[in-house]
């Protein structure tokens, strides 16, 4: 009798521990618009943020990744599939497209987004201080500073009046950025040539066009699609000897001329922290949308000398990062 | 029997136990209580000092943050505006943005209040914008006080910003206005730690949260959620310089202290969870409680042990005394406590031994009194030596006496009369024997045997015996006078002889007699038988021993049964007067 009791006790203890252990490992669904290689620097920052609130992948949290491989039209389906999984939180990082896809996929699973642009204007959240619903996240300032890139490029090439602007028409922020850029061009007294591109195949033609029209430079609007392809774009800029500027520091690091945009390290780290806080039980509606505080200017002196131009002292003194 | 014993024993046990227990626990309680009380007050004072110091430290850090911006701004308003200085100032302004990350944009205004330069991280820069800003509060404020701090505003209802304006030393230097992103205070505020989990936060003058280690609380800009923090500030303001108890936004009780930052009118408040702040006190209280419990347990064990040690011997003594009281004089209380109890037990044992001795003595006296004269018995008792009763050979005087005509008398009268006569007769004889310190050996019927010089020796046995015999005659003759009636004649005769005899206790264990054996006994008996009424017959040895001290008359030698030769016999002459008066 006593032995049977003991066996029953042990049995129930085992039965109790197994599901408890499975449950103790929360799962994050990570929705990305590209692939792990292009996201690597951002993933590192995201994991840092998670670790800062005490979560380490494989030890006390699992991450289930879904990648759209650059094909944004696939995002909604991938997001839906991800949302059907038993997840504790979805991280939709790396652009408004991803955030919107995740938002349409679930209204119950908490979502932490990372994007550029105004989350209210894009319809992601109703308010920054009280996001409401199941979404919160981090907004970088990259979209807002598109016009600053035009300003910097104009300062770099003060004698030139014509500049080219690269826009991805499939991006939800493209029209607002274009409007901004046109306003800026008017106030700076510049002429803009808008080059629309949404595939890698069009990149080469774009640089050729800039070269052919003898524009002062090519300014990329803020778009993750461009940001994730910084190396490719830098190589093309070097090949075509086009002074170009993107939002991501990856661009000057890869040989491009300069970049100006929100610190994606900071934004992705904050995303990780928010994901961790939600895993700890905080509600997304209690976490205000955060805007990054840092906008960084990176310049590449080597690229400038290769182009035969030099940075004016105003830019040199403002640069957060100088690549020699 | 057991009840009256058990009840007092229990109560004594309780009494001692309580007293001993209280003796140990009460001082412990007092010590522990006062320790806790003083500890609490010390800790409270210490906390007060600590939190105030932390608040000052935090305020200095926040102030440094603001002053850092102010100092940097100061560079931009050191030179008067001239027509050609624009580019230089632009570079200075850009450098400032680079130097001070929290400044989002900077506006430089000239002496007339016109905007000359605007540089921004987000928006487009403007050179010679020309807007008239002279009526703006920032410009007028800076011009009158040199430094002006704008109210905290929340961009998009979320992000806290504040404008700082600074004027140059001269009016010509103009004014610099910086828009500062207050989220940067986060780095300062989150670096402040009070104790293990305590932290700091900043409220502006209306009580809005400006900085908090959890930036999302600031960004939420939720007045209702920040109300507890305002209440905490009000509580501290109510007692300046003192740490106050309040709640944080999570509803947790905290202890807070505050320092105001002049200029911006911010309140820097440091707080520490009460549970953590008072943890040392709680720990001390737990220690005290544990000590108390431990001490009480030890005291209980000690009290129980001591009480048992006291009660055990007392019970033994009680039991022993009860036994001795019940007559068990051979009972001994065995206690080896090596203290007063053992001494008391020894006393009791001694008492029991003495009681046994005295009981034995009184028993012996009672025994002796049966056949010894009371004085003799007392003597034997006093000497405490009954070896006088041992068998030995000694020169004694034996006296026999009996009544004449008693057999016939007893046959004629009622038994009650016989017993009455005998009682009076024996009383009289006993009195005389007692008075003369002789030993009454036995009564048998109307006769009695008396011994002189044994067991108690006397200096002149013969004289004593003869005077006693005379007294016996006188006493008995007085009685006989009352009993003589016409139809029956009663008389009384005495025989007395002196000589060596074996004396001592004769008999069985149950029945002992002190007696004498020898020829002299027979002689005395025969003389008694031979004596007439009122006659005392004395043998020659006794008569010689008496000599002329008592008047004796020698009678004719008589032939006595058991004696071959006629025995010389003397008779004591009893005073005529006495005999007459008795007749």
Q: At what angle do helices B279-325 and B3-76 cross, to 10 degrees?
A: 170
For residue B288, what pLDDT is reported?
Answer: 82
Same domain? A63 vs A118: yes
- Which regions in chain B score pLDDT beneath 70? 1-10, 83-85, 367-376, 378-379, 381, 384-386, 485-487, 509-512, 575-583
In this structure, is residue A20 part of a structural domain?
no
Centre a 10 Å sphere on the Cβ of residue A182 and count the other Cβ atoms it contains. Answer: 16
Q: Three-state SS for B512?
A: strand
In this structure, is residue B320 part of a structural domain?
no
Same domain? A216 vs A75: no
Nearest by CB to residue A313, choosing from B91, B157, B215, is: B91
> Which of B15, B13, B2 is CA-nearest to residue B314?
B13
> For B425-483, what is the HEC assignment?
HHHHHHHHHHHCCCEEEEEECCEEEEEECCCCCCCCHHHHHHHHHHHHHHHHHHHHHHH
Same domain? A61 vs A201: no
Q: Does pTM surpass 0.80?
A: no
Q: In this predicted model, what pLDDT tens digit does every residue of B482-504 receive, in sequence order?
A: 887 666 778 999 999 999 999 98
Same domain? A102 vs A185: no
The last residue of a domain, from among B315, B345, B368: B368
DSSP string, A66-135: EE-TT-GGGHHHHHHHHHTS--SEEEEESSHHHHHHHHHH-SSS-EEEEEES-TTTTTS-S-SS---TTE
Structural domain of A83: 27-141+263-294
In this structure, is residue B373 part of a structural domain?
no
For residue A46, what pLDDT is reported?
Answer: 96
Same domain? B565 vs B459: yes
Interface contact B101-A294, CB threshold 8 A: yes
Same domain? B353 vs B279: no
Centre a 10 Å sphere on the Cβ of residue B502 and count the other Cβ atoms it contains. Answer: 16
Q: How far, in Å, CA of B332 to CA of B322, rounded?
A: 12
Interface contact B157-A128, CB threshold 8 A: yes
Average pLDDT, chain B: 86
Interface contact B94-A320, CB threshold 8 A: no
In this structure, is residue B376 part of a structural domain?
no
With a cut of 0.90, is the ipTM above it?
Answer: no
Q: How far, in Å, CA of B265 to CA of B189, rounded?
A: 17
Print burial letters for B530-539: b (CB count within 10 Å at least 16), e (below 16): bbebbbbbbb
Bridge partners for A30 per DSSP: A65, A91
Interface contact A129-B183, CB threshold 8 A: no
In this structure, is residue A14 part of a structural domain?
no
In this structure, is residue B582 part of a structural domain?
no
In this structure, is residue A150 part of a structural domain?
yes
Chain A residues contacting B via beta carbons under 8 Å = 120, 127-130, 141, 144-145, 147-148, 151, 184, 187-188, 286-291, 293-295, 313-314, 317-320
Per the structure, how many domains does chain B have? 3
In this structure, is residue A4 part of a structural domain?
no
Q: Cis omega before residue B455 (within 30°)?
A: yes
Same domain? B288 vs B363: no
Q: What is the CATH number of the domain that holds B129?
A: 3.30.450.20
Q: Three-state SS for A2?
A: helix
Bridge partners for B87 per DSSP: none
Centre a 10 Å sphere on the Cβ of residue A3 and count the other Cβ atoms it contains. Answer: 7
Q: Which two tokens stand for residue A47?
A: 């994991």
In this structure, is residue A33 part of a structural domain?
yes
DSSP state of B108: E
Cα A298 to chain center, whole Å? 17
- Which regions in chain A score pLDDT beneath 70? 1-23
Same domain? B333 vs B255: no
Same domain? A158 vs A233: yes
In this structure, is residue B378 part of a structural domain?
no
* Terminal alpha carbon distance of chain B: 67
Q: What is the dihedral of CA B303, B306, B307, B313, to 10 degrees?
A: 170
Contacts of A148 in chain B (CB under 8 A): 121-124
Structural domain of B469: 383-572
For residue A270, what pLDDT is reported?
Answer: 95
Same domain? B283 vs B427: no
In this structure, is residue B374 part of a structural domain?
no
Distance (Å) of CA A256 to CA A140, A230, A239, A301, B5? 22, 8, 10, 10, 110
In this structure, is residue A5 part of a structural domain?
no
Contact call for residues B272 and B253 (beta carbons, < 8 A): no
Does B241 touch chain A if contact means CB atoms closer than 8 Å? no
- Tokens 């610190």 found at: A263
Per the structure, how many domains does chain A have? 2
Chain B interface, best mutation among A116, A119, A127, A128, by max B CB count within 10 A: A128
The last residue of a domain, from among B337, B368, B399: B368
Nearest by CB to residue A318, choosing from B94, B102, B220, is: B94
Q: How far, in Å, CA of B81 to CA of B22, rounded?
A: 89
Q: Three-state SS for A287?
A: coil
Q: In this predicted model, what pLDDT tens digit does every residue of A73-97 receive, in sequence order?
A: 899 999 999 999 999 999 999 888 9
Q: How far, in Å, CA of B83 to CA of B93, rounded?
A: 17
Same domain? A152 vs A207: yes
DSSP string, B206-265: T--EEE-SSHHHHHHT-TTTTHHHHHHHHHHHHSTTS-EEEE-TTS-EEEEEEEEETTTT
The last residue of a domain, from among B313, B336, B368: B368
Q: What is the CATH number of the domain that holds A158?
A: 3.40.50.2300
Same domain? A205 vs A151: yes
In this structure, is residue A215 part of a structural domain?
yes
């Amino acid at each position: 009798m006593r032995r049977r009791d003991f066996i029953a006790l042990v049995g129930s203890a085992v039965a109790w521990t197994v599901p408890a252990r499975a449950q103790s490992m929360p799962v994050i669904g990570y929705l990305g618009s590209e692939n792990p290689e292009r996201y690597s620097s951002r993933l590192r920052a995201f994991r840092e943020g998670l670790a800062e609130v005490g979560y380490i992948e494989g030890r006390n949290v699992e991450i289930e990744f879904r990648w759209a491989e650059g094909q944004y039209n696939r995002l909604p389906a991938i997001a839906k599939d991800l949302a059907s999984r038993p997840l504790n939180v979805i991280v939709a990082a790396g652009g408004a497209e991803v955030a919107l896809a995740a938002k349409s996929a679930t209204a119950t699973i908490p979502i932490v987004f990372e994007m550029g642009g105004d989350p209210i204007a894009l319809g992601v959240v109703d308010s920054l201080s009280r996001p409401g619903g199941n979404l919160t996240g981090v907004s970088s300032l990259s979209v807002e500073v598109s016009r600053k890139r035009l300003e910097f490029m104009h300062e770099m090439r003060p004698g030139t009046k014509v500049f080219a602007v690269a826009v991805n028409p499939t991006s939800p922020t493209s029209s607002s950025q274009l409007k901004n850029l046109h306003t800026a061009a008017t106030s700076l007294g510049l002429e803009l040539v808008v080059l629309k591109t949404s595939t890698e195949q069009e990149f080469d033609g774009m640089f050729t066009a800039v070269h052919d029209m003898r524009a002062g430079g090519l300014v990329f609007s803020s778009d993750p699609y461009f940001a994730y392809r910084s190396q490719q774009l830098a190589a093309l800029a070097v090949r075509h000897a086009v002074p170009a500027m993107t939002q991501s520091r990856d661009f000057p690091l890869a040989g491009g001329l300069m970049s100006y945009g929100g610190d994606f390290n900071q934004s992705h780290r904050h995303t990780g922290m928010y994901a961790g806080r939600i895993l700890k039980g905080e509600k997304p509606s209690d976490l205000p949308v955060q805007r990054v505080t840092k906008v960084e200017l990176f310049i590449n002196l080597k690229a400038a000398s290769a182009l035969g131009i030099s940075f004016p002292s105003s830019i040199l003194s403002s640069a957060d990062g100088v690549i020699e | 029997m057991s009840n009256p014993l058990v009840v007092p024993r229990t109560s004594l046990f309780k009494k001692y136990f309580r007293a001993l227990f209280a003796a140990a626990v009460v001082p412990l309680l007092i010590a522990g209580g006062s320790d806790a009380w003083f500890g609490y007050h010390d800790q409270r004072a210490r906390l007060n000092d600590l939190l105030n110091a932390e608040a000052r430290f935090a305020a200095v850090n926040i102030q440094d943050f603001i002053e850092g911006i102010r100092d940097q701004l100061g560079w931009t308003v050191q030179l008067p505006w001239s027509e050609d200085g624009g580019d230089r100032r632009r570079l200075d302004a850009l450098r400032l943005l680079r130097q001070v990350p929290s400044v989002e944009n900077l506006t430089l205004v000239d002496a007339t209040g016109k905007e000359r330069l605007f540089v921004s991280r987000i928006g487009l820069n403007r050179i010679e914008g020309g807007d008239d800003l002279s009526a703006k509060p920032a410009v007028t404020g800076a011009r009158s006080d040199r430094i002006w701090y704008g109210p905290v505003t929340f961009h998009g209802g979320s992000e806290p910003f504040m404008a700082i304006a600074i004027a140059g030393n001269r009016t010509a230097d103009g004014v610099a206005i910086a828009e500062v992103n207050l989220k940067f205070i986060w780095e300062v505020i989150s670096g402040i730690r009070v104790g293990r989990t305590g932290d700091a936060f900043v409220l502006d003058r209306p009580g809005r949260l400006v900085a908090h280690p959890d930036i999302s609380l600031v960004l939420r800009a939720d007045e209702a959620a920040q109300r507890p923090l305002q209440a905490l500030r009000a509580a501290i303001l109510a007692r300046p310089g003192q740490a106050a108890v309040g709640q944080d936004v999570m509803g947790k009780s905290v202890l807070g202290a505050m320092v105001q930052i002049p200029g911006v009118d911010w309140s820097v408040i440091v707080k520490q969870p009460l549970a953590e702040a008072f943890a040392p006190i709680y720990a001390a209280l737990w220690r005290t409680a544990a000590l108390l419990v431990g001490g009480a347990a030890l005291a209980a064990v000690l009290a129980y042990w001591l009480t048992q040690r006291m009660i055990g011997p007392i019970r033994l003594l009680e039991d022993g005394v009860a036994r001795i009281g019940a007559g068990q004089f051979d009972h001994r209380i065995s206690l080896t406590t090596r203290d007063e109890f053992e001494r008391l037990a020894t006393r009791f044992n001694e008492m029991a031994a003495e009681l046994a001795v005295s009981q034995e003595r009184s028993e012996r006296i009672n025994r002796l009194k049966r056949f010894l004269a009371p004085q003799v018995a007392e003597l034997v008792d006093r000497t405490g030596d009954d070896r006088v009763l041992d068998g030995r050979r000694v020169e004694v005087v034996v006296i026999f006496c009996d009544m004449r005509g008693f057999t016939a008398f007893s046959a004629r009268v009622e038994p009650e009369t016989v017993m009455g006569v005998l009682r009076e007769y024996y009383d009289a004889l006993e009195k005389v024997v007692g008075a003369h310190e002789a030993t009454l050996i036995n009564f048998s019927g109307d006769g009695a045997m008396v011994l002189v010089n044994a067991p108690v020796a006397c200096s002149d046995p013969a004289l004593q015996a003869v005077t006693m015999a005379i007294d016996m005659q006188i006493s008995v003759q007085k009685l006989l006078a009352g009993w003589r009636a016409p139809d029956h004649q009663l008389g009384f005769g005495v025989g007395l002889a002196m000589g060596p005899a074996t004396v001592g206790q004769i008999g069985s264990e149950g029945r002992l007699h002190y007696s004498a054996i020898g020829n002299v006994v027979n002689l005395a008996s025969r003389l008694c038988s031979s004596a007439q009424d009122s006659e005392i017959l004395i043998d020659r040895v006794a008569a010689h021993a008496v000599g002329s001290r008592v008047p004796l008359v020698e009678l004719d030698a008589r032939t006595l049964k058991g004696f071959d030769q006629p025995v010389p016999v003397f008779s004591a002459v009893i005073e005529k007067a006495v005999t007459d008066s008795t007749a």
